Structure 1
Amino acid sequence: MRVMKTRLVTFDLDGTLIDTAPELALAVNRVLDGYGYPAVTLDTVIGHIGNGTRVLMQRVLTGLGVEADIVLDQIMPVFDAHYDAIAGTTAQPYPRVHDALARLRSADMHMAVVTNKDYRFAQRLLQQAKLAPYFDVVLGGDSLPYRKPHPLPIRYCLDHLKVPGHAAAHLGDSRTDVQSARRAGVAAWVVPYGYNHGEPIANARPDRVFATIDEMADHVVSLH
């Protein structure tokens, strides 16, 4: 799919706009320590990011040989408490994200965040990073009945902002984002620096790979 003139870009959050992995890894390891499990590496956590914190914790536990389904309901409130104390304290936007979003806003671009992270954590991260004012819509993994890779969140943004699919793109860092874009009928754009389960993002066959969000902004603004 090729978008000639883009009016809306929806963005993934973790690994696309903000580097959140270190905070997530710290919360994960505090949980593991409290239950007597061994710590995991940052790379392990990065390999499991992309489908929300419950799936993240489930994958970590399974990797440690724990029957995650048995203990997950007990562990998740503990994880949420640890992450609640950490989220937004050290996470930083990737380089030039502010500048890129400002240029898109100046070009009258609609922008939204579509993440599988719980809304309260997503909103806090955006506010702490001073990115929140750029976005017309912010959807967390708990905002709607379905989350990525279901098309509903992106389609919600299209409907709410009255933009047709052929004039929109979703920018993410994982195969989940590419699947979401495809199913929602928008262009699938990616950046290569995020969290894609340890796989090259090109394997997901996106429509375009941008080295940075700044490069994506150059592309969009050049068509306006």
Structure 2
Amino acid sequence: MTIRLVSFDLDGTLVDTAAEIAEAVHRAFDDVGIERRPQAEITNLIGRGTRELMLKLLARVMLEQPALSERVQADAVLERFEHHYAETAGCFGKPYPGCVATLERLRDQGVRLVCVTNKEQRHAERVLAVTRLDGYFSMLIGGDTLPVKKPHNGVLAHVLRHHGVSADEAAHVGDSSIDVESARNAGVRAWAVPHGYNAGVPIEDSNPDRLFPNLPAIADEVDAVLGPLPA
């Protein structure tokens, strides 16, 4: 077994973005006169991109308060969210403990690193830039970069093809069932960390190939496979 490429999800895997997404939602709702929702509710919708998050949240609000549909248009709320998330993206989010050291160790071992997220490309670029993680990745795939997004097998297949790496030489790391399914669909190792969102469901329930206690443990695993760096 060898590891030549590791792809990482972004939200809930590398960076805790829940607070900044919730803040943008709150500001958008304030703009149109919708009562703020609990952050936990918003966090549980993270995983399929911010547009889908907003549409699901708005559908829930309209179901609970039908009268709002007479004065609030979904497109207007989405526009306000986009405006506010352009300001908050990356500003409140914090890389998880050991994130930078893990990426540095993997890079030093010659492992290709890719970020594969369902967050829209423009937002993902900003989060990575503001948190200074962008320099570690040879490629960023957002939820709107390709015609398909996770868990479609075409996403990781595109990454493997671009880098000339076979599926048995790669692993995908995530915090959700979407990531586990993505890895399985592409035939790569399904690795997971427990500190993310996954709609509030324990990631163990998704049966990843490996569940690591933290990000540095992933670098430990790759070190064990590839051997120590030359002195």
Aligned equivalents of 2:77, 2:49: Cα separation in 1: 15
Question: What's 1:131 paired with?
Answer: 133
Aligned residue pairs: how many? 221
Paired residue secondary structure (1:64):
helix
Aligned equivalents of 2:76, 2:154: Cα separation in 1: 29
Aligned equivalents of 1:198, 1:65: Cα separation in 2: 23
Paired residue secondary structure (2:199):
coil
1:122-161 maps to which residues of 2 (within 5 A)?
A: 122-161=124-163
Question: What's 1:54 paired with?
Answer: 51
Identical counterparts, % of pairs: 43
TM-score, normalised to structure 2, is: 0.91
Aligned-pair CA distance for 1:31: 1.2
Equivalent residue in structure 1 for 2:41, among 36, 44, 55: 44
Aligned equivalents of 2:43, 2:92: Cα separation in 1: 16
Question: What's 1:162 paired with?
Answer: 164
The one-character-per-residue Cα deviations of 1:167-214 (angstroms, maximum 9, x if unpaired) are 101000000111111111111111011010010111111111011110
Question: What's 1:118 paired with?
Answer: 120
The residue identity in structure 2 corresponding to 1:16 is T
Query: 2:7 touches 2:172 (CA, 8 Å); kept in 1?
Result: yes
Aligned-pair CA distance for 1:131: 1.0
Aligned-pair CA distance for 1:33: 1.7
Paired residue secondary structure (1:220):
helix
1:91 aligns with 2:93: yes
Task: Kindly report the root-mean-square deviation, in angstroms, between the aligned alpha carbons of the 2 structures.
Answer: 1.6
Paired residue secondary structure (2:146):
coil
Aligned equivalents of 2:201, 2:216: Cα separation in 1: 23
**Bigger-Rg structure (1/2):** 2
The residue identity in structure 2 corresponding to 1:48 is L
The residue identity in structure 1 corresponding to 2:49 is G
Question: What's 2:28 paired with?
Answer: 31
Aligned-pair CA distance for 1:27: 0.5
The one-character-per-residue Cα deviations of 1:132-169 (angstroms, maximum 9, x if unpaired) are 11111101111100011111221111000000001101
Equivalent residue in structure 2 for 1:14, among 11, 27, 42: 11
Question: What's 2:81 paired with?
Answer: 79
Question: What's 2:211 paired with?
Answer: 209
Paired residue secondary structure (2:171):
strand
Aligned-pair CA distance for 1:109: 0.2
Query: 2:29 touches 2:77 (CA, 8 Å); kept in 1?
Result: no
Question: What's 2:182 paired with?
Answer: 180
The residue identity in structure 2 corresponding to 1:101 is L
List alignment gaps of at least 5 residues for structure 1. none
